[in-house]
């Protein structure tokens, strides 16, 4: 009997030691991301991320210590079986924490070189600036941003302040994925910060209601469909007010293709065909005629609505005449989230109108691209300007991206102001 107990104890003990050792290993954050990559983070961000991960791992280890104590106290097979079950639960907890640490580890590790680190720091800064523009006047603090590069077509965000995989830790920063292909056209970054801002101000729900209310004269199904897209539209609007036509053009490059008419009920992403044309309409409504007209025309010509699935076709055709109204509802309607102001009141899209961007370039001259106060103060308009240039003059796209890289390297440099 004692021998059986010893055997069982050894088995359970092995499992406990295994998972406890694994939990201990998680605390070595240098193993999850290289010291070099950590050093590429702004210090305040690195401290916050490390602290958050350390707390998550520490919590896990504390639970591990309890498990170990329980094992030591076992005096019967029943006790050991109970601990064995607890080990399984602990394993789950370990995996959750590992997912958490691994996620941030990979995000940090994407700063593989000083150059990558510098570009990503520039992205962090632009992201923060874009949020500040709306949040600061409302007295809300913008969260930290940890942007990272990853493969794929579209950007994404793990919003700050969300409860993470381990069920306890709150995400210490808005982790924004930027795809490799968009490294030098990061307008999607601003779309993602739009998600964060809408989340913080609870704008998504309000915008959904605004759309429903504003479109109450159309069939309910279509009305509901548009309101179900509110969160993505909100983010698109946010990107538009900050970066203008550049964001629309970049969006069209990402969502174009065979799936432009794909409609998945419940998916917050609007039908891509409509989404791009909504962006074009934003330009029309705020800027008048311009290069977006060409994009709209080509877009319509490239994608024949007749090719849309029969169930989707009416959604598209019925929506097209609504686009001007939808733009106004999203951008010009006063919202509680913005303390009674409209988004375009807080961030005036006229600042990123092509003429305004040209005027900026003309009045500041070459200093705009090399002088720290200008780069820092106008980084979002610089992004808008270069995205616009890339959109309207793709023949010189390589040069535009080279220039974009140059000022972003300055923006991300820790010696920017010196």
Consecutive H or E run containing 298 = helix 291-302
Query: In whole angstroms, how close is the CB of 121 to other proteins at the nearest point?
Result: 8
Compute CA distances 184 → 146, 247, 318, 403, whole Å. Answer: 17, 13, 36, 10
> By three-state DSSP, how is residue 367 classified?
helix
Contacts of 417 (CB under 8 A, 6+ apart): 372, 376
Q: How far apart are CA 90 and CA 96, in angstroms?
A: 10
CA distance from start to end of the chain: 76
Give the nearer residue to other proteins in terms of CB position, either 7 or 141. Answer: 141
Structure tokens at 15: 């499992």
Q: How far apart are CA 323 and CA 293, in angstroms?
A: 14
Under rule CB under 8 A, residue 229 binds other proteins: no
Helical spans, DSSP H, in 303-336: 313-319, 323-331
Under rule CB under 8 A, residue 114 binds other proteins: no
Consecutive H or E run containing 179 = strand 174-179
Structure tokens at 281: 């309409």
Give the nearer residue to other proteins in terms of CB position, either 162 or 364. Answer: 364
Phi and psi of 176, rounded to 5°? Answer: -110, 120
> By three-state DSSP, how is residue 148 classified?
strand
Query: In whole angstroms, how close is the CB of 349 to other proteins at the nearest point?
Result: 20
From the list 80-88, 196-204, 230-238, 363-371, the region that binds other proteins by CB under 8 A is 363-371
Give the nearer residue to other proteins in terms of CB position, either 21 or 39. Answer: 39
Binding to other proteins in span 375-394, by CB under 8 A: 376-377
Query: In whole angstroms, how close is the CB of 126 to other proteins at the nearest point?
Result: 12
Q: How far apart are CA 279 and CA 286, in angstroms?
A: 11
Answer for the pair 127, 165: CB distance below 8 angstroms, yes or no. no
From the list 79-87, 311-319, 323-331, 408-416, the region that binds other proteins by CB under 8 A is 408-416
Q: How far apart are CA 256 and CA 231, in angstroms?
A: 20
| Contact mark string toward other proteins, 141..170, x via CB under 8 A | xx-x--------------------------
Query: In whole angstroms, how close is the CB of 137 to other proteins at the nearest point?
Result: 12
Under rule CB under 8 A, residue 62 binds other proteins: no
* Number of residues this chain uses to bind other proteins (CB under 8 A): 27
From the list 1-9, 22-30, 281-289, 371-379, the region that binds other proteins by CB under 8 A is 371-379
Under rule CB under 8 A, residue 65 binds other proteins: no
From the list 21-29, 152-160, 320-328, 410-418, the region that binds other proteins by CB under 8 A is 410-418
Consecutive H or E run containing 241 = helix 230-243
Under rule CB under 8 A, residue 416 binds other proteins: yes
Under rule CB under 8 A, residue 366 binds other proteins: yes
Under rule CB under 8 A, residue 364 binds other proteins: yes
Query: In whole angstroms, how close is the CB of 296 to other proteins at the nearest point?
Result: 34
Q: How far apart are CA 101 and CA 32, in angstroms?
A: 7
Query: In whole angstroms, how close is the CB of 56 to other proteins at the nearest point?
Result: 16
Under rule CB under 8 A, residue 128 binds other proteins: yes
Where do contacts with other proteins occur on this chain (CB under 8 A)?
Answer: 42-45, 47, 128, 141-142, 144, 362-367, 370-374, 376-377, 414-418
């Amino acid at each position: 009997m004692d021998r059986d107990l010893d055997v069982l104890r050894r088995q359970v003990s092995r499992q406990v030691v295994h998972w406890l050792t694994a939990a201990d290993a998680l605390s070595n954050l240098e193993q999850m991301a290289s010291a070099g990559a950590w050093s590429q983070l702004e210090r305040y961000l690195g401290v916050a991320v490390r602290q958050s991960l350390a707390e998550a791992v520490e919590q896990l280890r504390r639970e591990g210590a309890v498990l170990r104590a329980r094992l030591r106290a076992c005096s019967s097979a029943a006790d050991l079986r109970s601990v064995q079950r607890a080990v399984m639960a602990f394993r789950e907890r370990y995996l959750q924490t590992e997912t958490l640490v691994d996620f941030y580890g990979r995000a940090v590790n994407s700063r593989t070189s000083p150059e990558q680190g510098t570009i990503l720091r520039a992205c962090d800064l632009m992201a923060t600036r874009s949020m500040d523009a709306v949040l600061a006047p409302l007295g809300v603090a913008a969260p930290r941003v940890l942007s990272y590069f990853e493969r794929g077509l579209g950007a994404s965000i793990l919003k700050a302040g969300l409860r993470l995989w381990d069920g306890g830790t709150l995400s210490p920063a808005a982790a924004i994925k930027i795809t490799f292909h968009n490294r030098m056209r990061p307008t999607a970054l601003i779309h993602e910060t739009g998600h964060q801002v809408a989340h913080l101000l609870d704008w998504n729900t309000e915008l959904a209601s605004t759309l429903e209310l504003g479109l109450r004269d159309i069939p309910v199904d279509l009305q509901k469909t548009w309101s179900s897209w509110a969160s993505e539209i909100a983010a698109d609007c946010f990107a538009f007010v900050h970066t203008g036509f550049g964001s629309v053009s970049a969006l069209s490059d990402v969502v174009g293709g065979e799936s432009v008419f794909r409609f998945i009920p419940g998916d917050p992403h609007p039908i891509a065909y409509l989404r791009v044309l909504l962006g074009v309409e934003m330009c029309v409504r705020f800027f008048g005629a311009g290069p977006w007209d060409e994009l709209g025309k080509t877009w319509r010509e490239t994608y024949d609505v007749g090719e849309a699935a029969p169930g989707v076709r009416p959604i598209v055709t019925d929506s097209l005449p609504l686009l001007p109204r939808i733009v106004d509802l999203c951008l010009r309607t006063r919202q509680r989230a913005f303390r009674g102001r409209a988004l375009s009141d807080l961030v005036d899209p006229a600042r990123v109108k092509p003429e305004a961007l040209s005027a900026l370039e003309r009045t500041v001259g070459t200093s705009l691209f090399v002088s720290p106060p200008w780069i820092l103060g106008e980084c979002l308009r610089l992004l808008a300007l270069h995205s616009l240039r890339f959109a309207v003059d793709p023949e010189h796209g390589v040069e535009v991206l080279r220039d974009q890289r140059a000022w972003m390297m300055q923006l991300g440099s820790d010696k920017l102001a010196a």
